[in-house]
A and B are shown apart, each in its own frame.
Chain A
Amino acid sequence: MTFQNSRERILEAVLKNQPELQAVPDISMFRGSHENAVQKYLDVFKSIGGAVFLVDGISSARTLIREQFDITKRIVTTLPFLNDIAEVISPDIDPHTYEDAELAVIKAHFAVAENGAAWFTEEVMGQRIIPYICQHIAVIVDAESIVPTLHEAYEKIGTGDYGFGAFIGGPSKTADIEQALVLGAHGPLTMTVFIIQ
């Protein structure tokens, strides 16, 4: 249903009532420092309840995943090198079918030192639901991809075309009951990041 008149009425009221034009401010001076970005990321991500490992290569990450998680349960991934322990996510099947995924392992485009978040688009998620529906999430991040602040992050994203993209900065959490922090609200109970140097 559309209220055709409402559109016109609203736009007319906006035009009539909006104040004199104010310029968009320049925000180019906001920049972080790349110095110690990896260390900063480690500190911040730990402080928000995440687990993080600095590793020398993908095979070390695979070893750690085998140690850290119950690989007898369903593990899903978009990364072919894990196909011995995980099934590769299909973008075309019903997202509900991932309901029993214990662990999802996906690779971030990059991560942000100031807030511990990593950036994903649906291509690297496999499916949009993956990083939310799994019980645990593990993320691979290249050390050199870590940017200092969100300003550099959005510069990197640009106007990049995606259907869905997200910053994810830790395990899901809530403090709605008496401000007591509980990790694992509706999304994953834990988030582990492997930074590949």
Chain B
Amino acid sequence: MTVGLFIPCYVNQFYPNAAIATLQLLKKLGVDVVYPVSQTCCGQPMANSGFEYLSQECNNHFIDHFSPFDYIVAPSASCVLHIKEHLHSPKNEVEAFNIRNKIYELVEFLTDILRVQKLEATFPHKVGLHHSCHGLRGLHLSQMSELNAPAFSKPELLLNMVQGLEQVMLDRQDECCGFGGTFCVAEEAVSVKMGKDRVTDHAKNGAEYITSSDMSCLMHLEGILHRNNSNIKVVHIAEILNNSL
């Protein structure tokens, strides 16, 4: 099994440690991982702003780079959901279909494909889990609080395998953080207020770290934490799952 590693553009540029942790974690678990270095972007920033028609070049580029692999894995629920829902190709729809079906967000790849039962990871801290909306309501990584349906949580399943980690319970278990792509600048006031309120929930319940399977949510929350000189840090879930003392 060969996995193509898809690292979202902003993670590549701003959060290389999340990408490195993803790569190392997959290698530790014995996966053959290849990172196509000239990959770019999934096209979500344009599409979510209404410019899906401009994202065809991104789509073609994505298909060219990731067709050869058995699976595609990315440490970003949001980008994965975008590919799953919106990657199309008028000239190669069969390949586009294949890609939509073989792309996985890291957490679900670990729980559903690798069926990881234990991890050699240690993270002796109080951690608040932020569910990214695209991971939660798009990829169904956990049960959604709105539904009358049995509870489950793939990220919690993995966090429970980490030694020393104590998960804090939040007042609002799966409220959106307000990042929302271009929403974060177009609706600055509401975006920041939403982020501040999420941060307050984590702080109030004793979190030292906020983790998530989406770095974009964390970038937004980190921006607010820094500005307010908070001691709380953000960390991508891959970095926790790959962490050893």
Direct contact of A and B (CB under 8 A): no
- Interface set of A (CB-CB < 8 Å, partner B): none
